[in-house]
Amino acid sequence: MLSRVADRIFWMSRQMERAENTARILGVTANLVLFGTDDVQEQNLLAPLSITGTEALFRERHDELTLPALIEFMALDEKNPSSIWSCVKWARENGHAVRWLITSEMWETLNGTWIDMRGMPKGRVTGAGANEFFDWVKERSHLFRGVTYGTIVRGEAFNFSRLGTFLERADNTARILDVKYHILLPSVKDVGGALDYYQWAALLRSVSAFETYRQLYRDLIFPIRVAELLILERRMPRSLAACFDQVKEALDRIRGESDHSSKRLAYELHARLSYVDIQEVFQDGLHEYLSAVLDDIGELGSRIQRAYLGAV
Amino acid sequence: MPKREHNLPSRHYDEMHGPDGAVRAHFRAVADWLAETPAERVAEKRREADLLFHRVGITFAVYGETRGSDEGAERLIPFDTVPRVIPKAEWESLAKGLRQRVSALNRFLDDIYHDQRILKSEVIPAEQILCNEAYQVAMLGLDLPNRVYSHVAGIDLIRHEDGSYYVLEDNLRTPSGVSYMLENRKMMMRLFPELFARQHVHPVEHYPGLLLETLRASAPPSARDPVVAVLTPGQYNSAYFEHAFLAQQMGVELVEGGDLFVKDGFVHMRTTSGPQRVDVIYRRVDDAFLDPLAFRQDSLLGVPGMLSVYRAGNVALANALGTGVADDKSTYPYVPEMIRFYLGEEPILNNVPTWMCKRPKDLELVLDRMAELVVKEVQGSGGYGMLVGPAAKKSEVEAFRARVRANPANYIAQPTLSLSTCPTFVEQGLAPRHVDLRPYVLSGKEVKLVPGGLTRVALREGSLVVNSSQGGGTKDTWIVD
């Protein structure tokens, strides 16, 4: 497969996944802000910006950090390269460039999503219609992923699409957990105790893991279990371990005689997620652990770019 | 697609009806069907066609001319549901003429880049060819596989009031539009299967297969299992759909300049599993943009070093460089002579009689009869720098006369020809509209063409402009037994 084509497909998939994750983060934030206590308000509003590393850009564009301003910035701002708007726009743009290699259903899903989004009244998205909008973004992402899985020929296009999707998802799960843990758990000695139920439930819901938690643990929500679920539980499809199962599988299928460095790193990460003990993670510090994982994910992304997709 | 200019008619040939008003034999099945099918059903089918094309259209015209913007603009070329029908015998004679013409043009290109016999024999003035902007010195002495330069040629034909066909223009560089020919047929078969049951319409669907065969036959002899790629300027090009469509139909890669690089004397594609050699490039990029080292340095569409690989015979380009010198307006008048010179045959297809103002006798005649003629700049294209005498104001004719007098060598003139008409659905119902025809001629080891071509129709009443940008549409073209 042409490197340029693989690059487009990889990013097309990453961008749709990123749009979905941003919608998830915003959805949870909106709930926490509306129903949460005042003392964590600022932190809750700040979290999405920390997760996506866009606080500086936000401060340039807005004077005051309010929920509508945050939503406007993260959902609709075309100047923000990681806004939902930008992600959907570039996913479609990338899809258009490889229109002849993906199925027409895939293209129509991307194009339809873009056309619908452009027609949405801004005021509604930042106001009363916010949750409806986030749900819609998630649905469009589910649709795109499903259409891709259900229609595309099993070949390099499929492999790079999967690789993009799950690398992006791993990145997001690690970020959400890192930032939220910080806010929700100011002191390490609280690790074993049951904290603010609502906040933890919200975190779980943001990665569609609330019901899973209940099923698997049949217990109160304990921070250490939340971390275990989101990092190590491979039955939970948004956990780091589950994501890396998919990343490794996709890389295994990709032909690349000259690539050793990205495959090696992916297998290392996969092994680390398979054989780590959650107690050890906490002893060394969850934040330190997640930072290292995020660095590795970033490094893996650039190695994949160099080995298969051409210079950025 | 480049604009094609046409001349104004006085009377015209009716494709469907004879002079007595009776339906011509080859159009009878279509005419009967039109007569017996309730208007309601036809209208419904036309709406369905619009809808279907719109859906496909979203995929091929989404950017159109609104480059890079996010308008999602759909620029569809209107499709007319009444086919243009040509009887088989007539087509066979046309096809013979097209083969003859394109063969002579390829012989001519080979000659002017080698021995230049035709120039030495003074059949064509040497300076006219050697000083032409499109003449590529880089092609001198280069031996091409099968001695073919224009692998894909689009020849524009019109039909004069007496019913005879004339070649209006040869397109030997990167003619486009063939995807519409294929899509139109697919649409007609989907909408009106019963029409195809009534008579045998010769198929065109094998065009992509023939194209691939032609391209592979044009590979450097050293390539055992030639790898073909289609080179496009990219997704913002107005013909991008066609590039992608042809690559997909042929099952080959669609590449941009950045996907290719030169190493060890060959052209390679960058792929996820490393470099892959390319042997034949069906390029839809103009000469000047192909290699920034050899031509325009600012070109981002080309491949640095490609020309040296080409000259070494390690990659084939289709079409070759430097074909433009043969489809130039100043070369056009000499095509009948080329046919006689190279093939020793009489031309089958008519050339429009052309006066070259650089000849004193011709100039005199042109100045004298300018109000009846069409006068064109030699280098002009897209309808610019031309005068349509019968449609022009007196003052315009006077002004043009002064321009021609000042620089006669820059102008040619032709009689005003009419275009035939074919029934077409317009707002008021069925009405005659002017059409032309562009068949596509493929030259590899042999010269091949699919029966038919692209019929373009001027949708405005009385208009002769079949250009899509100016209200032109397309029709399916049927060759019938």
Model ipTM? 0.79
Contact yes or no for B436/B6 (Cβ under 8 A): yes
pLDDT confidence of residue B4: 47
- Assigned token pair, A254: 């990709």
Residue A4 and residue A9: Cα distance in Å, rounded? 9
Show residues of chain A in contact with B229, CB under 8 Å.
Answer: none
Q: Which residue has the tokens 């209107």?
A: B78
Higher pLDDT, A222 or A182: A222
- Segment A84-96 mean pLDDT: 95
Give the pLDDT of residue A190: 53
User: Which residue on chain B is closest to A78 by alpha carbon?
Assistant: B70
- Which residue among B58, B72, B235 places its CB closest to the CB of A97? B235
Mutate to test the interface with B, among A99, A102, A116 (most CBs of B within 10 A): A99
Q: What are φ and ψ of residue B90, in 5° steps?
A: -65, -45
A304 compared with B472, residue with greater pLDDT: A304
Name the residue among A107, A114, A308 with its Cβ closest to that of B59.
A107
CB B411 within 8 A of CB B374: no
Question: What is the predicted pLDDT for the residue at A36?
Answer: 66
Hey, are the CB atoms on B272 and A3 less than 8 Å from each other?
Answer: yes
d(CA B238, CA B330): 28
Residues in chain B within 8 Å Cβ distance of A6: 272
Residue A177 in tokens: 């957990």
Chain B residues whose beta carbon lies within 8 Å of the beta carbon of residue A4 = 256, 258-259, 270
**CA–CA distance, B178 with B208 (Å, rounded to integer):** 10
List, for residues B401-445, the tens digit of each pLDDT value. Answer: 999 999 998 899 999 888 999 999 888 788 999 999 999 999 999
* Residues in chain B closer than 8 A to A76 (CB atoms): none
* Nearest one of B387, B383, B390 to B472, comparing CA atoms: B383
The residue extents of the domains of chain A are: 1-152, 154-312
Q: CB–CB of B416/B376 below 8 Å?
A: no
Q: How far is A100 from chain B (nearest CA, A)?
A: 6
Q: What is d(CA B449, CA B204) in angstroms, rounded to the nearest whole number?
A: 9
The pLDDT of residue A229 is 94
Nearest CA in chain A to B56: A104
Chain A residue numbers with beta carbons less than 8 Å from the beta carbon of B259 are 2-4
| pLDDT, tens digit (0-9, with 9 covering 90-100), for A66-85 | 999 999 999 999 999 999 99
Q: How far apart are CA A32 and CA A41, in angstroms?
A: 8
Q: What is the pLDDT of residue A31?
A: 83
- How confident is the model at residue B453, as a pLDDT? 96
A217 or A9, greater pLDDT: A9
- Determine whether the interchain pair A100/B254 forms a contact, defined as Cβ–Cβ distance below 8 Å: yes
Percentage of chain A exceeding pLDDT 90:
59
From B313, B292, B295, select the one nearest B303 (Cα to Cα): B292
Q: Which runs of consecutive H residues, i.e. helices, occur in A36-81?
A: 41-52, 55-61, 67-71
Long-range contacts of A30-33 (CB under 8 A, 24+ apart): A30/A67, A30/A71, A30/A130, A30/A131, A30/A134, A31/A202, A32/A199, A32/A202, A33/A67
Is residue B376 within 8 Å of B412, Cβ to Cβ? yes
Q: What is the pLDDT of residue B43?
A: 83
C-beta of residue B165 within 8 angstroms of C-beta of residue B94:
yes
CA pair distance A68, A79, nearest whole angstrom: 16
Give chain A's contact residues with B (Cβ, < 8 Å): 1-4, 6, 89, 96-97, 99-101, 104, 107-108, 111, 114-115, 118, 156, 160, 254-258, 308-310
- Percent residues over pLDDT 70 in chain A: 93
Residues of A in contact with B69 (CB under 8 A): none
pLDDT for B104 equals 98
Task: State the DSSP H helix or E strand holding residue B261, giving kind and residue range, or none if neither.
Answer: strand B260-263
Contacts of A254 in chain B (CB under 8 A): 272
Residue A111 to residue B72, Cβ atoms within 8 A: yes
User: What is the reported pTM?
Assistant: 0.84
Residue A186 pLDDT grade (very low, low, confident, very high; cuts 50, 70, 90): low
Q: For A2, which of B63, B248, B270 is closest by C-beta distance?
A: B270
Closest of A72, A6, A61, A71 to residue A304, by C-alpha = A6
Question: pLDDT for A225-281, tens place per residue?
Answer: 889 999 999 999 999 999 999 999 999 999 876 778 899 999 999 999 998 899 988
Interface test with A, best of B71, B256, B272, B281 (most A CBs within 10 A): B272
Domains of chain B as residue ranges with CATH: 221-314 (3.40.50.11290), 353-415 (3.30.1490.270)
- Cβ within 8 Å of residue A195, ≥6 positions away: A184, A185, A221, A223
Instruction: Give the whole-angstrom CA distance, residue A25 versus residue A21.
Output: 6
Taking chain B (481 residues) in runs of 10, the rounded mean pLDDT of each run is 45 90 92 88 83 59 39 66 95 97 98 97 93 92 97 96 92 92 92 89 96 97 95 88 91 94 96 94 93 83 93 96 92 96 97 92 93 83 71 89 91 89 87 94 96 92 73 91 89
> Rounded mean pLDDT of A41-63?
90
Residue A217 Cα, gap to closest chain B Cα (Å): 43
Q: What distances in angstroms separate CA A310 from CA A3, B144, B274, B291, one per listed residue?
A: 6, 33, 10, 21
* d(CA B55, nearest CA chain A) in Å: 9
Query: What is the least distance, in Å, from the CA of B337 to any CA of chain A?
Result: 44
Contact A1 B272 (CB under 8 A): yes
